[in-house]
Amino acid sequence: MFYSQVSASKIKYYIFVPMQLLRIIAFPFSLIYALVVYFRNVLYDYDLLPSTTFKTPTVCVGNLSVGGTGKTPMIEWILDHLSAASKPAVLSRGYKRKTKGFVLAEPTSRAEEIGDEPLQIYSKFPGVTLAVDADRTRGIKQLEASMHPNLILLDDAYQHRKVKSAFSILLTAYGQLYTKDWYLPTGNLRDSKSSSKRADLIVVTKCPPDLDLERQRKIISELNPLKNQKILFCTLEYDTVLKGKKTGLLLNDLKNREVTLVTGIANPEPLIVFLKSMEITFDHLRYSDHHYFSGKEVDIFNSRSLILTTEKDFMRLKDKVDNLYYIPVRHRFLGGGEEVVTKCLEKLGNRFL
């Protein structure tokens, strides 16, 4: 059965209502979580818990909520715009990998070893040093000792305060601003809203491409930045040339084909909206973020004529599914935001590199 607005609304109802009830029931636990997060940040703010500054400059890219703000494309954007003199390394946690400790990415690395998002980055930038370690302090020390980078990008490390970054970029999704969110498990916040004050740049991601200045000003007022903070806006830009084991397939070629969309990401809605705008009809199989697909699920995918997925999901499925394609996506800044970020990186380079 192909994706339709009717079936989608029914699915959303049967999933949304029980989830909302669970979140309301969990509200007392969210208050406890909020207090724990608050006191933890106070301990770091007053240096009662140690935070290490490293010789190698670190750029932290993260968010206050659980997933879905576009951290990986932002890391990729930065790598694309670094000067030729830089020798960057990327350090990630490697969420849901099946290995432990410090692991350095290699050409033979798999998603199970380093995680799907790190593998995605490494696949695009094989010349960049990439490592995973849940202990960011240990990971930075390992990189400094063995690889000697002159810049380290910390992926999804905003809440890891054991490391004091030289520069911090905080992401928040349009329509899901952290100011309008609440703490886990009732909401999606995993860190205090006041932690936004530590950011050098706040980037509102996944904006409509036609976001006008008036709506931008309303969001800036809602976020209420400090005088030294800049707020930028960017939108997701999807490629119309699909990538996969086979080449030469365009997005428009899908209009007359049976398409199954497979997503295992936090928020597939922007992709769904884009595909609908391109008049692509599809059956949507939706899974949880970073889902590892079972043998039965893979068999279902291989029984379909064409599987369309995200780049992150492609990293987990590329050796298992035959007729598999993904849509490349990247951030595009609005209103001169690209120049602002580039200048910030250049200033950082002049200070440290």
pLDDT band for position 26 (50/70/90)? confident
Same domain for 339 and 288: no
- Give per-residue pLDDT as tens, 218-269: 999 999 999 999 999 999 999 999 999 888 899 999 998 999 999 999 899 9
- 252 and 344 fall within a common domain: no
Closest CA relative to residue 278, chosen from 258, 259, 254, 248: 254
Best CA proximity match to 77, nearest among 346, 255, 329? 329
**Secondary structure (3-state) at 174:** coil
- Confidence label for 1 from pLDDT (cuts 50, 70 and 90): very low
CATH of the domain at 294: 3.40.50
**Do 223 and 260 lie in a common domain?**
no
pLDDT digits (tens, 9 = 90+) for 242-252: 999 888 899 99
Based on the fold, state whether residues 322 and 337 are members of the same structural domain: no
83 vs 271 pLDDT, higher one: 271
- What pLDDT is recorded for position 5? 34
- 93: domain CATH number? 3.40.50.300
Taking residues 167-175, report their average pLDDT: 96
* Alpha-carbon span 215 to 238, nearest angstrom: 23
Whether the per-residue pLDDT at 114 is higher than 80: the answer is: yes
Stretch 102-113: mean pLDDT: 97
Structure tokens at 170: 């905080």
Write down the pTM of the prediction.
0.91
Task: Give a yes or no: residue 174 inside a domain.
Answer: yes
Residues 298 and 205 reside in one and the same domain:
no
> Which amino acid makes up residue 78?
I
Residue 351, pLDDT score: 65
Residues 119 and 46: their CA atoms lie apart, in Å, by 37
Could you tell me if 150 and 297 lie in one domain?
no
In a domain, 296, yes or no: yes
Q: DSSP state, 92?
A: E
Reading across the β-sheet that carries 201-205, which strands appear in turn?
103-104, 129-132, 88-92, 151-155, 58-63, 167-173, 201-205, 230-238, 329-333
Residue 248 lies in a domain: yes
**Contact yes or no for 72/120 (Cβ under 8 A):** yes
Q: Are residues 146 and 271 located together in one domain of the fold?
A: no
In percent, the amount of the chain with pLDDT more than 70 equals 93
pLDDT at 151 over 50: yes
Q: Is residue 3 part of a domain?
A: no
Instruction: Indicate whether 129 and 178 sit together in one domain.
Output: yes
**Residue that has been written with the tokens 């397939």 in this structure:** 249
Query: Across residues 90-97, what is the average pLDDT?
Result: 95
Whether residue 285 is contained in a domain is answered as yes
Residue 290 domain-assigned (yes or no): yes
In this structure, how many other beta carbons lie within 10 angstroms of the beta carbon of residue 41? 18
Residue 27 lies in a domain: no
Tokens of 270: 């922007």
Report how far residue 244's alpha carbon sits from residue 189's, in angstroms, rounded to the nearest whole number: 35
Which residue type is seen at 30? S
- Both 344 and 299 in one domain: the answer is no
Do residues 349 and 293 lie in contact, with contact meaning Cβ atoms separated by under 8 Å? no
pLDDT band at 101 (very low <50, low <70, confident <90, very high): very high
Q: How many CB atoms are located within 10 Å of the residue 19 CB?
A: 10
**Domain span at 266:** 240-327
How many separate domains does the chain show?
2
CA distance 105 to 122: 7
Residue-wise pLDDT tens digits, 276-332: 999 999 999 999 999 999 999 999 999 999 999 999 999 999 999 999 999 999 999
Distance CA 260, CA 287 (A): 13
Nearest alpha carbon to residue 332 among 153, 207, 201, 195: 207
Judge if 195 and 336 occupy the same domain. Answer: yes
The residue type at 215: R
* Pair of tokens at residue 335: 């209103």
Asked whether residue 67 carries a pLDDT value surpassing 80, the answer given is no
User: Does 4 map to a domain?
Assistant: no
Strand-pair category, 307-309 with 259-263? parallel
Same domain, 198 and 279: no
Cis peptide before 18 (omega within 30 of 0): no
Looking at residue 6, its pLDDT comes to 33
DSSP string for 327-351 = --EEEEESTTHHHHHHHHHHHHHHH
For residue 15, the model assigns a pLDDT of 44
Are 169 and 193 part of one and the same domain? yes
Q: Which of 129, 125, 100, 126 is nearest to 114 (CA)?
A: 100
